[in-house]
Structures are given as C-alpha cells and as structure tokens.
Chains A and B, each alone.
Chain A
Amino acid sequence: MTDMTTDTLPDDAGDETALHGGAEERKLGFWLTLPAQLLVLFIALFPILMQVYISLTDWSPLDGIPWYQAYELWIGLLNYVDLANDPRFWSAMWRTCIVMAICVPVQFFLGLGLAILFVDDFRGKRVLYSTILVPMMVVPAVAGYMFFMLFQSGGPVNDILSFFAGRPVTIAWLSDPDLALFATIVSDIWQWTPLMFLILLAGMVSVPQDQQMAAVLLGASWTRRFFTIVLPRMKTIIIIAIAIRVIENFKVFDNFYIMTGGGPGVATETISIYIYKVTQQELIWGYVAAIALAILITLSVVSALAIKKLRGAQQ
C-alpha cells in the first residue's frame, strides 16, 4: 500500500541534467521553471533585502514617509539591541517552545498509539480512519472559534465536567492565564493529532511484513518486535512527522489568536501573535523587520543543518 522512497530529500538536479542535456531540453527546462523561480525571488530575495534595510531604521507606516526613504530614520543596529533585551519577545519565544514541547510529544504518542490500532485490518477500518482525520481538515481559524465556544465558562466543556463532578462547574478557562494556555494547547492537539496518526500509520504500514513475520517466528514478543523492528524502520518517517509539527507549531497563530488574542495579558502570546501585534497595533515596522529577520536567519541555519544531517543519515 505504501512505499517509502529513499530520495526523501532534495538531491536532484546535477546528474539528471547530464542525462538529458539537449539544448532544446535545457531551454524548455529553463522556461518551465522560470515562473516558479520568479515567484520565489519575488517572495524571498526582494522582501528580505527590503527587510534588512527597514530593520536598520526606526520606520513606521505612520511616519508619512515612504519606506524607501526610511534611511532618514536610520538607527543602525539599535533594533537588534532592543530585540536582545525585549522581555516580551523572549517570553513569546519561550512560550512557543513550551507549546511545542507539550503539543508535539502528545500528538506523537496519541498518533502512534492510534496507528498501532489501525495497522492491521478490522471491521469498519475505513470509516473510522476517515472520521479520525476530520479535525485536521477543519479550517484552523474555524477550529479556533469552535474551541472558543467550547471553553466558555457556561460552555459544553464545563457542562461535561459538571456531569462528572456532580455539581455545576464554572471554570473561566480563557481568562485564567494558565488555563487559557492549556485550552489553546488542547485545541492544537485536537487538530493535529490526526496528522501525526496519518503519517505514522503510513510509515508503519510500509515496514516490511516479512521482517515482522521473521521476528515473530524467531520468538520475538509483540513489544520486542515493535521496538526492534517497527520503530527503527520508521525512523525517517518519525523524524519527518515530528519536524513537520515542530515547524508548524512554531508558526502557530490562528486558533491561539482567535481563542484568546494572545491573552489574558500575554499568557498565550506565541511568537507569531507577538509579531502580529507589534505589526498591527504598535506599528513599529522597523523593529518588526528586525524580529522577522532574526527568526528567518535562525530558522534558515537550523533547517539547513537539519536537512543536511537528515540526508546524511539516510545514506
């Protein structure tokens, strides 16, 4: 059913050019890739140069001068100095990491557990499989509104808790700093556990059956087979699944912002919400550019290293 390709990571180009090197083909290849190249340049190179420039100024769209004249407000590296000393930035960073550190493992283990339950055939598998996938296909913003309703103090979550507690429960989930973070994390786990499940199941199904059979015939218990054959064989897929969720979790915005607006106070302010607020509410775009660049550079380095390492591990 599934087939795990070894060329998981980009390593193309070079050798293939040599194989199909006609002049006509090179020309066609060039024209075919041109639009994509231009769009990448349009969204990457130009904006990044612009961002570098603005980040060295104190420019704001309210200043009344166009961005290209921002040099009038030149402040050098001051934005970066501010950034290093901005407690709100660092706390947003820290919070994002905490969210990641809770969401990703919970999603992973739930997804893995479900994948184990779905790996062999049983009655109703297809329907149940599709049903489990539903949350990840709900628009995240809509999920945010859904959880906003669920966690109202007179809402259904408290209703269920009241049922079990046997007395009315009126927890103000979204206005207590700790509980609000908990509620947003729940919404993230709800939405993205199916994704982990989907990927991990596909990886688990691709573990060769005969190797598992061989292990069983050699007397391996279920757990031994799982830990010595299944999991090691899924290594690449596990890394990919976790990487995807770490990346997406780092960007998390929609459901958090809709549920709490980053509040109460800054209790659920993730890095994206923080940047959004500085952009929209405080409007100091020179500073935003500095934050954005710092993040871009960090992510580029980290992701390049990770991809290199992953590719190395595969060979």
Chain B
Amino acid sequence: MQNLGKDFGAFTALAEMDLTIGSGEFVALLGPSGCGKSTTMNMIAGMLDPSHGEIRFDGRNMNGVPMAKRGVGFVFQNYAIFTHMTVRDNLAYGLKSQGVGRAETNRRVGEIAELLQLTPMLDRKAAGLSVNILQRLAIGRSAVVEPAIFLLDEPLSNVDAAFRAVMRAELKSLQRQFKQTMVYVTHDQLEAMTMADRIAVMDHGKLLQVGTPLEVYNHPADTFVARFIGAPGMNLLKGRITGADTGLVADLGAAGHCPVRTGQGGDVLFGFRPEQVHPDANGPLQMIVTTVERIGARTILHLAAGDMTAKAVLDSETPVPDQGQPFRFALDADDVRLFDAETERAL
C-alpha cells in the first residue's frame, strides 16, 4: 500500500477536501462534532457515496466500490462486537465471510489472538468483556482480514476518563505492532495529540490544517486551530502592529505592548500559549486576575484586560497574585503567533 489519496466533498457536510495519507501512518481527524470528520470517515469506508471528488487507495479509485470489497477495517464507537458470539467467532467472522478455508481461518485467528493476548478467552461469549478487551477484539476482528486501512470512530468516547490513558497507550502500541495505516476520528485534541503521527483539523466541513501534533500545536494555521488545540487553547488578543524604534511592537490596548518578530502594520489577533506566559514584574504586559484555578501541579489564571480575556498556565510553585490584582508577564517573541484580524489565518 502506497498512498491513499482522496479529494472529495459532500454538499454541506464536507466541502472540498484534499488529504493524502501515507502507508503505515496514524492520522487523526480532529474537530468538534458536526465538522465533517465522520462524514469523511464514512465515505472512506463506503457507507456514504461522495457527491463529488474521489477516494483513491494506492491510486485506485474507490468510488462505487461496495464497502465489503474495500478492505477497510472499521472500529466503531462502541466497538460493535457481536456479543451473541464467542471471541473466536468474532475474530473468525471476516475470514469466514470471505470464504477462507477452515484450517487457514483457525491459523490466522490463533495468530491474531496470540498477538492481542486474547487466547485465554477465545471461547468466552463476547458479552460482558471489559472495555479494553473489547477494543483489542474490535481491532483484531478487523486486522485478521488484513485491511488496507483502519478507520477508528471515536473508540474512546465511551471509556471512563481514568481508563482512557491506558487505552490510548495500548492503541498506539497496537498500531506500531501492526504497522497499519490508521485514520482516527476524534473530537478530543488530547487523543489526537498523543497518538497521531499527523493531525487533520477540521471544522464546518473544511480541512483547516494537516500536520504533525507539534506543527499543529506550535504553528496553527488559523485561529480555530489555535483555540481548538491545547487545553486550554491559545490566547488571542486583539491588537495592532506598530513599528517602533527597536522593532515591531504589538499594541494590545489595555494589556500593554509587546515586541514581536514579524508582521506588517495593521490589525491582528495576537496569539500566545497559556503555558508560555512568564510571570515577570517588569514584563511588558499586564492583565487583571479574575479567577485563580488551582489544579494540583499547575495553576490556571483567568485574566482580563478591557474586553479581552486570556489564560495563563503556571507551575503551582510560582507565586501568583490574588484575584482582582494585576498580573504582569512577559512572552518570548518566538512564541507569539499573529493572525490576520479579518481572515483569521496565520500571518
């Protein structure tokens, strides 16, 4: 399997979209609900027909190919395990459906069960298994027929928060083991950041940015991506770039002035990560603390200046001013991201 190329679009659900996914890559489709990520996924799987554009697997046009023949492995939100069958029958389902012989089926089921540590429970009914076993079973059930591509539809959304980290790690290691191309749909940026090789951020049926987690985090293509990635998301303050003697300065109104590296004069949205705020009694920026949120290792300050709000994430050791007090801070000029005030695209 070489390249999966697809460029397609479905009326309102999904506008023009181009995305190439490399073999063995783990790509996360990330976006809020209704952004078109599930539509995209369903079109790859063949549950929906694209209204225009095409999906290609290895350069082969998949339009009109029925889902059964696409070689797509699909892991559903709640895993869609056949609970009325045994684990073994679940694993063998795809092979039997495709008319693979009994001996071959048994061999491959045995292999996959061994790999996924499902061997001890092969003859148990699939009902009542714990959720991480269900996840392995769902992956194994699809993997056994050696699909060209794996699609995962928010498989962790029904899992307890406490258990998600474990499941994420397991899923990631499974993907490495299988060297399998995976497309993972999620609305949880944390899942996308921790597992994916590349993230495709979507909103309102549009693909906004594709990149590695760090690229997306550090260089968001627009304000939506900036706000959506990271917890909390990037701060965006309205400002104006003016040239000063020492260089360019962003005039942030009530919050003060901050030197920046690039940018032409004019209105901008001034972006910085809450984590990159440095408390500095002599810093160029000042905002009023509205709330102090202490969450163990970190402290989140809710800040306001005029009609602008921002957040700062600080080490809990750092002394912080009380509510209602001003907070002065500095930013590395390298950490500042500027966005066009009109188009909201990165400058």
Touch between chains A and B, by CB atoms below 8 Å: yes
Q: Number of B interface residues at 8 Å Cβ cutoff, please give it.
A: 25
B82 and A219: CB pair below 8 A? no
A76: min CB distance to chain B, Å: 53
Instruction: With A220-B97, A221-B97, A228-B93 as known contacts, state yes or no: A233 contacts B45, CB within 8 Å.
Output: no
Q: Which of A213, A218, A221, A233 contacts B93 (CB 8 A)?
A: A218
Which residues of the other chain, B, contact A26 by a CB distance below 8 angstroms? none
* Complex alpha-carbon distance, A240 and B302, angstroms: 60
B45 and A215: CB pair below 8 A? no
Which residues of the other chain, B, contact A199 by a CB distance below 8 angstroms? none
B145 and A213: CB pair below 8 A? no
Residue ID in chain A nearest B76 by CB atoms: A210
Q: Is A208 an interface residue (CB 8 A)?
A: yes
A213 and B68: CB pair below 8 A? no
Q: Which of B77, B84, B85, B142 contacts A218 (CB 8 A)?
A: B142
Q: Is A217 an interface residue (CB 8 A)?
A: yes
Instruction: With A216-B68, A218-B145 as known contacts, state yes or no: A211 contacts B80, CB within 8 Å.
Output: yes
Q: Is A168 an interface residue (CB 8 A)?
A: no
Q: Which of A208, A221, A224, A232 contacts B80 (CB 8 A)?
A: A208
Which residues of the other chain, A, contact B217 by a CB distance below 8 angstroms? none
Residue ID in chain A nearest B73 by CB atoms: A217
B145 and A214: CB pair below 8 A? no
Which residues of the other chain, A, contact B82 by a CB distance below 8 angstroms? 211, 214-215, 228-229
A219 and B98: CB pair below 8 A? yes
B149: min CB distance to chain A, Å: 11
* Complex alpha-carbon distance, A211 and B127, angstroms: 13
A217 and B74: CB pair below 8 A? yes
Which residues of the other chain, B, contact A228 by a CB distance below 8 angstroms? 82, 85, 93
Residue ID in chain B nearest A217 by CB atoms: B74
Residue ID in chain A nearest B69 by CB atoms: A219
Instruction: With A217-B67, A218-B97, A221-B97 as known contacts, state yes or no: A232 contacts B76, CB within 8 Å.
Output: no
- CB contacts under 8 Å to B, within A219-239, are 219-221, 224, 228-229, 232-233
Q: Is B19 an interface residue (CB 8 A)?
A: no
Q: Is B78 an interface residue (CB 8 A)?
A: yes
Which residues of the other chain, A, contact B77 by a CB distance below 8 angstroms? 210
* Complex alpha-carbon distance, A221 and B84, angstroms: 19
B84 and A210: CB pair below 8 A? no
Q: Which of B69, B70, B76 contacts A214 (CB 8 A)?
A: B76
B84 and A232: CB pair below 8 A? yes
Q: Is B141 an interface residue (CB 8 A)?
A: yes
B97 and A219: CB pair below 8 A? yes
A213 and B76: CB pair below 8 A? yes
A 183-225 to B, binary, CB cutoff 8 A, 1 in contact else 0: 0000000000000000000000000101101111111110010
* Complex alpha-carbon distance, A215 and B73, angstroms: 11
Q: Is B5 an interface residue (CB 8 A)?
A: no
Q: Is B115 an interface residue (CB 8 A)?
A: no
B84 and A220: CB pair below 8 A? no
Which residues of the other chain, B, contact A208 by a CB distance below 8 angstroms? 80
* Complex alpha-carbon distance, A213 and B77, angstroms: 12
Q: Which of A218, A229, A232, A233 contacts B94 (CB 8 A)?
A: A218
Pick the most buried of B47, B85, B97: most chain A CB atoms within 10 A of its CB: B97
B256: min CB distance to chain A, Å: 53
Q: Is B72 an interface residue (CB 8 A)?
A: yes
Which residues of the other chain, B, contact A215 by a CB distance below 8 angstroms? 82, 93, 97
B78 and A210: CB pair below 8 A? yes
Which residues of the other chain, A, contact B93 by a CB distance below 8 angstroms? 215, 218, 220, 228
B76 and A219: CB pair below 8 A? no
Contacts A216-B67, A218-B93 given; 10 further ones with Cβ under 8 A?
A213-B47, A213-B74, A214-B76, A215-B93, A218-B94, A218-B98, A218-B141, A219-B69, A219-B145, A228-B85
Which residues does A use to contact B, with CB under 8 Å?
208, 210-211, 213-221, 224, 228-229, 232-233
A-B contact pairs, 7 of them (CB 8 A): A213-B47, A213-B76, A214-B82, A216-B68, A219-B68, A219-B94, A220-B93
Which residues does B use to contact A, with CB under 8 Å?
45, 47, 67-70, 72-74, 76-78, 80-82, 84-85, 93-94, 96-98, 141-142, 145
Top 8 A-B pairs, shortest CB-CB distance = A218-B94, A210-B80, A220-B97, A214-B80, A219-B97, A210-B76, A219-B98, A211-B80
